[in-house]
Structure 1
Amino acid sequence: MTKLENRVADAFHHLHQHAEISWEETGTTAYIASILKEYGCTVTTFSDCTGVVGEYGHFDSNLPVVAIRADMDALWQEVNGTFQANHSCGHDAHMAMVLGLVSKITDDPALKNKVALKIIFQPAEEKGEGALKMVEKGVVDDVDYLFGIHLRPIEETTMDNAAPVIVHGANTTYIADINGHDAHAARPHLNANAIEVASAIVSQLNNIHLNPRIPHSVKMTNITAGGKNTNIIPGNASFAVDMRTQDNQTMDDLTRKVKDIFQAMESIHGVEIPITDMEYIPAAAVNDEAIQIMENATARVLGEAHVDAPLITPGGDDFHFYTIKRPDLKATMLGLGCDLKPGLHHPDMTFNHDALMNGVDILYEAVKGVYRDDS
């Protein structure tokens, strides 16, 4: 292995073994900050949140500013019978590749003095909150081009292939309660059974009909009701509803229908169903110039035959808040083939680690492409 390959592999294994969940990435923040300083970056951390921003190059010139974003947080899920932080979405790989990119640029005497590079290690992507926090901090105020990267499951693309853009859909999650009162199991006429109310909500969710030409889905993904006593009819419950659409207008239609269902169930069952929390991630806003730069970079590394068409996926990513909040940003996210299986967010997710260097090299060529006279 080359020196760079060893650096990338070491970073990946460290980050994989020290996974941390959203807003708790303190060890990850310290680890990345120390490496960025070793590479000669100016490093910024924050007193009120996790996350690291590194700057390298000449920001006092007329050079366009290129930012690379890597997400930091892990999921909290059951792995081999134990709940733990787990990088089953590939964020450990994303961080390792971006660190490899910085290493490669700082080792390139022909390039390192001709860039204005900002490296954003962003917390809390899994909560859909980290990008908004970075925008609030002004991290992308001076950025012209923004690139991201994400491992893709094998059903979307394969090893040694990549898509120059991931066209994510919109995602909204409602956390809601059913507020009523308990009753004795022998007297079901004295309350509304929260489990039956939740079941009625599920039935009505399945009856939502939207434009079939636009991919969409809605489903209940969590429910908690009842306690240790089995002779009590629970009047209270909490639940989550996950909604996915390929565009933002369809999401507006879907959320309106879900709220209508909640209101109807309140009236029918005589309970209250308040939405106590909401998570929202917008659909992708794509930029042709950024996509072309990433397409050229992918072709230079993998060959033109291995450049996939734009990858349309129902998954979401808060990366797109950057362009929603800063419309002048020229942004795209690379979809990296790596034979990932059985799937993202599966507790036993695996991928071909040889793809890490593909990601490093494509990002490197994308950065060069911004500063290339013919880009």
Structure 2
Amino acid sequence: MAQLDAKQFEQIVSFRRAVHAEPELSWHEHKTADRIAAFLDNLGISYRRGLAGTGIVAELPGENDLPCVALRADMDALPIQEETGLAFSSQVPGVMHACGHDGHSSMLLGAAALLVREKHRPAPIRFLFQPAEETGNGAKAMIEDGALDNVALIFGGHLDRHFTAGTVAVTDGPVNASSDQFHIKIQGQGGHAARPHEAIDSVVVGSLLVMALQTIVSREVNPAHPSVVTVGHFNAGSAPNVIASTAQLDGSIRAQEQSVRESLQQSIKRIAHSIGDLHNAQIDVSIDLGTPPLSNPPDIAELAREAVRGSLGDSALKKLEIANMGGEDFAYYMEKIPGCYVRFGSVLAGKEGFPAHSSRFDFDEQALHVGATYYHAVALAAGHHLVEQ
């Protein structure tokens, strides 16, 4: 199976470091897109710019009249002040590639460098360079602009510090959770702290609500189905001697299955309104839907596993051992078409304690070689899969 030579690997490492030094926030990935376009120009691969604002879609033709196999990478950085001390640290104050998207784009360009040299591509291959994954809306915007038109299968992945460099984790079923937010406004009756009987205390109502919400996961959800309800913000009151008339609670909802996701939302509304009725407080609940759960279908996951075995060897293949409750907007693509989302081992010696979204996050650049090799292999395997259907 083809792999990057030393010069090609050096090129994608250089690309990664240049992008890392000039990170750009969601929807503003202009310099990053320019660098991707220049890399594709050097490979002689045609592309379209401007999808979802700064997104790029490139394509290689296939031998057969088939829909495309898509490979996706994200491009955006985070509003974090970098503290890695790397020679190529961010030169943009308060902005950092702390989630590895610089690596994702680099490995996909590496795959493009391998695939452009392939004489026999069973199906067309489309490369998606997506903005704004961190907002949860980039994939939707790409879809709206036609990124999935005439695409049959899609593949993506994420760097993961829980696995050593040189490995790829492929898992059937849930691999990322839904990510929704809830907002609860409590309207009570303000009053003097010395006369609570004349008021409806929003602090008391909110406190009861915080505690009651903790019972949803522990008492209403099957323990075999990972889920989370977190109250992350509680605001009420203006002075020690004033009973608060209003309170605001905001939180996060995570679930790995759509049915559980919907049940959590309903439970939050039911409990909130019940506590409001109990204390004669008015309750308003709103829920902002975020990314849906991401689940790999077994047949496409097996195709991905075979690509790992065939290109990197049996020892490179791993699987997720614990539930991952993080959100990922790749799920929007897989609401439309089948695909598989994997994890690329990236742990760097001495940096195990610095997770994604940390100001000291970094990864082993050997993962770029692994990712490029995997994407090359899975693109060809998926093409053969489409031929056989």
TM class by smaller structure: 0.7 to 0.9
Number of aligned residue pairs: 365
**Partner letter of residue 17 of structure 1?**
A
Tell me, in whole angstroms, the C-alpha distance in 1 between the residues paired with 2:248 and 2:45. Answer: 46
Which residue pairs with 1:102 in the alignment?
112
Tell me, in whole angstroms, the C-alpha distance in 2 between the residues paired with 1:220 and 1:372. Answer: 48
Which residue pairs with 2:178 in the alignment?
171
TM-score, normalising length: structure 1: 0.84
Which residue pairs with 1:70 in the alignment?
73
Tell me, in whole angstroms, the C-alpha distance in 2 between the residues paired with 1:93 and 1:280. Answer: 25
Counterparts of 1:1-375 in structure 2 under 5 Å?
Answer: 2-46=6-50, 49-58=53-62, 61-77=64-80, 84-106=94-116, 108-111=117-120, 115-154=123-162, 157-165=163-171, 167-178=174-185, 180=187, 186=193, 189=196, 194-208=202-216, 209=219, 210-225=221-236, 235-275=245-285, 278-309=288-319, 312-324=323-335, 326=336, 329-339=337-347, 341-342=352-353, 343-372=355-384
Per-residue deviation, 1:242: 1.3
> 2:191 touches 2:245 (CA, 8 Å); kept in 1?
no
Per-residue deviation, 1:140: 0.9
- More deviation, 254-263/27-36: 27-36
TM-score, normalising length: structure 2: 0.81
**Partner letter of residue 353 of structure 1?**
E
> 1:180 touches 1:191 (CA, 8 Å); kept in 2?
no
DSSP 3-state at the match of 1:45 = strand
Tell me, in whole angstroms, the C-alpha distance in 2 between the residues paired with 1:318 and 1:146. Answer: 13
> 1:169 touches 1:283 (CA, 8 Å); kept in 2?
yes
Per-residue deviation, 1:236: 4.4
Distance 1:362 1:48, change over 3 A: closer
Cα deviation, 1:323-373, whole Å, max 9, x if unaligned, reads: 21x2xx331012111116332333322222211111111111112223458
> 1:57 touches 1:116 (CA, 8 Å); kept in 2?
yes
Per-residue deviation, 1:234: 5.1
> 1:178 touches 1:235 (CA, 8 Å); kept in 2?
no
Q: Which runs of 5+ in 2 are unaligned?
A: 84-91
Q: Which runs of 5+ in 1 are unaligned?
A: none
Aligned Cα root-mean-square deviation (Å): 3.2
Tell me, in whole angstroms, the C-alpha distance in 2 between the residues paired with 1:95 and 1:84. Answer: 21
Per-residue deviation, 1:271: 4.7
Tell me, in whole angstroms, the C-alpha distance in 2 between the residues paired with 1:272 and 1:49. Answer: 42
Query: Quick one: percent identity of the two aligned structures?
Result: 26
Tell me, in whole angstroms, the C-alpha distance in 2 between the residues paired with 1:345 and 1:201. Answer: 30
Distance 1:264 1:224, change over 3 A: same
Per-residue deviation, 1:297: 1.8
Per-residue deviation, 1:58: 4.5
